[in-house]
Chain A
Amino acid sequence: MMTGNTALQSETHRLTSWEDLHALQQQIIEAHDPNQSRIVVCHGTGCMANGSAKITRAFQEALEASNIEAKVMPGIKTTGCQGLCAHGPLVQINPQGLFYSRVKPSDVEEIIQKTIVEKKPIERLLYKDPDTGEAHHTEADIPFYKLQHRLILKNIGKIDPTDIHDKITAGGYQALAKALFTMTPEEVVAEIEKSGLRGRGGAGFPAGRKWRGALAAVKKKGGPVYVVVNGDEGDPGAFMDGSIMDGDPHAVLEGLIIGAYALGAEKGYLYVRAEYPLAIKHLDLAMQQAREYGLLGENILNTGFSFDAQINRGAGAFVCGESTALFTSIEGKPGNPRPKYVRSVEEGLWGKPTVLNNVETWANVPLIIEKGADWYSSIGVPHSTGTKVFCLVGKVKNVGLVEVPMGTSLSTIVEKIGGGVPSGKPFKAVQTGGPSGGCLPYESRDLPVDFDSLTKAGSMMGSGAMIVMDEHDCVVDVARYFLRFLEEESCGKCLPCRLGLTRMREILDNFSHGIGSEKDIEDLQSLSKAVQDGALCALGTSAPNPCLTTLKFFKDEYVAHVRDQKCPAGVCKDLITYYIDPDACTGCRTCAKQCPQECITGEKKKPHVIDADNCIRCGICMETCKFGAVLVQ
C-alpha cells in the first residue's frame, strides 16, 4: 500500500551491524519529503467493519484519475487501529495532522480537492466534541487522546504495519540492537526485573521473576528453553492485543527476540487467536521482512545469535489462553489445561523451561530496554509500573483503545477519556477483566486502576477489557452471560467447572425467569466458592467472579428478580412487557409489519396496541419504531 518509498523496498539487504540499522533509518527518512501530503486511513478491525477499505480504494482510484502533479501527489498509508473506533472510519491527513472522523467514500473527492490541493480543512468531517460541539483539528486536540499516555500504542495508527521501513523510521529494532551490542543476556534480565514489568495477560506475575525462574530451570535441568507469545486474546469485548499485533507487529516481535536473547532461546511461538486474521497476516509479513533484514533467523545482525519463531493459529478455544492449555495446543492436542503444580518456567512446552508472556507484555520489552528500567518504573504506581492498554466498550461514548499509566482512576478512563454513558447519566457498573473479572459499581469510580487495587476490590486486571454498563443493563443477565460463555468454553476436564458452571447458570436462568428464593442466592454463593476452590485451572477458579461481585454490589437487583419478579433494568424477557405509548405512536404500522407474531394491531394513523399474551419479546418493534413509542415495563 506504500507509494512513497517503493524504490527503497527493492533494495532489501541483510543488516550486519547497528550502524547499518542507523544508516537505513536515515536513508528512509531522507528519501521522504516531509512536506508531501499523506492520507492515513485506519484499517483497524473496527474501521474495516465500517468500510474503511472502500475508502482507501476510493482514494486510490480518485488519485489515479486526477491530474495532480507528481510533485504534490499524496501517498496513501493504511494503519492499525487509531483508537477512536466509535467515530470510524478515521482518516488523517499529514503533515497537517487533520483528523477526519466518520468518513464516507463520497467524501473522498472533496478531501482531495479541498484538503490535499487547496490545503484547507473540511469542517464537516472534523471530530466534534459530543458535549460542546467544538470541532477539533488534530488528534492532539481531542480529549480522548489528550488524556492518554500512549507508549505501546504510540506507533499504532501512525505506521503502516505491513512495511518494516515505517517501523524502522519510528525507531524499530533499536532496542534489539542495543541489547545485542551493549548488554549481556544477564543485564537484559536484570533490566526487566528492575523495571517492575508485570504480565499484562491477567494475573500480573512479574515478568522479570518469570525470566529469572526460567534461567534457573535451564541451569538445573538443561535446555532448550522456549519463548512464547500468548496472543489468544479470547475475552469477549477485548481487542487490545489484536490491535497491537495487527497495528505494530514488529513491536511484539522485537520484544520476543530480545527475550530470546536474554534467555538463550532458539525457537519461539506466537499463538494467535484464529478470529484475528489480520493480526496473523501482519505478524507473518513482519517476520518475513525481519528475516530479510537479518533481524530474525540465523546470525541476527551478525552477532552470532540465532533465533526464529513460528505462528500457531488458534482453532477456537478460549481456554487456550491458559498457559498450560496453550502448550498442549501447540503440541497438537486438545487444549486441556495440565494439572499444574510445576511452574511452566520449569516444565512448559514439551516439558522444557518456557517463558510465556502476553502480547502487550512482550511489546513493553523494547521500550524498557531502549529507555531504561528507571524511566519505565517512573510511570504508573510503585507495584504496577508502566502503562496499560484498555478496551473501552459497551455503554460509553468513545468506544475504543485507551492507554493510561497504571493507577489512573476508573472515572478518568470511563468518564473523561471515554466520555461517559451516551445518555449523560452516571454509569451503573464497569466489568473489568472479562469473564474472569468482576463488576465494579459507580461508587468505585475513584479506584486507581492497577493490579493490586482491582484484586482488592474483588475484580482483576485481566487482559484489560472494560465493559461499561448503564441502567438498562441487568447484572443478573450479565452474570448469566459470562457464565454461559465460560460454560461453553470450559474444557470439561474437571468436575467443578464442567458441572458447576452449568448448575450456576441454571440457577441464574431461573432468576431471570423470576424463579428462586433468597436461599437460592445463598446456595449460588456456596457453589461459587466450591468452584473457586475446586476447579483445576484459572478458567474455572475465576469463573464465579462476575457472579460473586455482582452479588456483592448489586444484591438488591438479584432479590428484585426472585422476590418481586421484577427486572429493574428491563432486560430479563420473562419479567418485562412491551407496550406502546399511545401519545407517541403515529400509527405508521412499521412495527406491525415487522412483528413475527403479528400481535400488534391498530388502525392506520391511530395508536397501536401490543397483545402481551402473544408477544415473544423479540424487541423488533422497539428497534424499528422511529418515534420511540415502544416502551418496556
Chain B
Amino acid sequence: MITFQINDTPVEAEPGWTVLETARHYGIEIPTLCYHEAVSPSGACRLCMVELRDGDWSKLVASCIFPVAEGIRIYTETERIDNVRRWIFEMLLAEVPASPEIREMATQYGVESTRFSVKDPDEDCMVCGLCTRACEEIVGLSAISLMSRGVHKKVGAPFSRPTEVCVACGCCVTICPTGAMRRLIESVRETPEVTLTPLAV
C-alpha cells in the first residue's frame, strides 16, 4: 500500500492507482469530462487538475493520469485549480452551448454565464475523445477517430463519409458525456437507426 495525503488527510492506495482513482475511492469529489473507467485516460479535459505541493513549491497535475507516490501532498480545491476550472467551464459554455449536461456541471462550479461569443448554438460535442477511445479499445474497430488538429479537431469517419467499418454497436453513443454522439453517428453510419447492444463494462 502507498500512503499519501489528499487535502491534509492521509489516504492509502494500491500501487499503480492514479490520484483520481484514490480520491474517488475515498469519496473525494473531482470533476471529469474525458474520463471513463472503461477506456484509457487521456488527460485532455483538465477539469480533474489537482495541486501537488512540496514545501513552497507547487504545480497542477491531471489527477486522472498522475500516479500515486509515497508521501506526496495533494490538494483538490485551491485558488489555482479554481481558476483553471472556472475558465474551462466558461469557455465550454460558449463552445458547446447545446449541452445541458455541461451547463449543469458548470453551474455546480459557480459558472452561470460566459463572456465569450458562441460560434454554433447547436454544438454539443467538445471533442473529449471518449467515443473514439471506446471504438478503438472496447470495440476494437476504430471506425471513428479524431480528425484535423487544434481548433478544427472533430470526431468522424475518414473523408467525412459514412463508413462500412462501423457496426452500429452504439458503444460511442453510450459513453458520450454530452449526447453529441447520438447526432454524430448519423454521419458515420449510413443507416441512422442504431441498435444498442449491452456493453460489457
Contacts and interface: CB of A to CB of B under 8 A. Distances in A.
Given A488-B150, A536-B43, A495 B65 contact: no
A204 to B, nearest CB: 18
Nearest to B49: A534
Interface centre among A494, A495, A503, A534 (most CB of B within 10 A): A495
Interface in B86-126: 86-88, 91-92, 95, 115-117, 126
Interface stretch (A455-463, A524-532, A556-564): A524-532
Contact of A495 (B67, B92, B150): B92
B65 A503 contact: no
Nearest to A486: B150
B46 interface: yes
A317 B149 contact: yes
Contacts of B127: 492, 498
Interface centre among B49, B61, B95, B150 (most CB of A within 10 A): B150
12 contacts: A488-B150, A490-B151, A492-B127, A492-B150, A494-B44, A494-B46, A500-B87, A503-B91, A529-B83, A530-B83, A536-B46, A536-B62
Nearest to A499: B91
Given A317-B149, A495-B91, A495-B92, 8 more contacts: A339-B65, A487-B151, A490-B151, A493-B42, A526-B83, A529-B80, A533-B49, A535-B46
Nearest to A502: B151
A496 B149 contact: no
Interface string B114-150: 0111000000001101000000000000000010111
Interface in A523-561: 523, 526-527, 529-531, 533-536
Interface in A298-347: 317, 319, 334, 339, 341
Contacts of B116: 503, 506
A526 B87 contact: yes
- Which 6 pairs show the lowest CB-CB distances between chains A and B? A339-B43, A492-B153, A530-B87, A534-B84, A499-B91, A490-B150
A491 B147 CA distance: 10
Contacts of B84: 496, 530, 533-534
A219 B122 CA distance: 54
A535 B59 CA distance: 12
Nearest to A334: B149
B33 to A, nearest CB: 8
B44 to A, nearest CB: 5
Interface in A268-315: none
B65 to A, nearest CB: 5
B149 A495 contact: no
A494 B45 CA distance: 6
Nearest to A523: B115
Interface string B54-71: 000001111001110000
Given A334-B149, A492-B153, A527 B87 contact: yes
B15 interface: no
A498 B153 contact: yes
A151 B152 CA distance: 44
Contact of B151 (A341, A492, A527, A529): A492
A370 interface: no
A193 interface: no
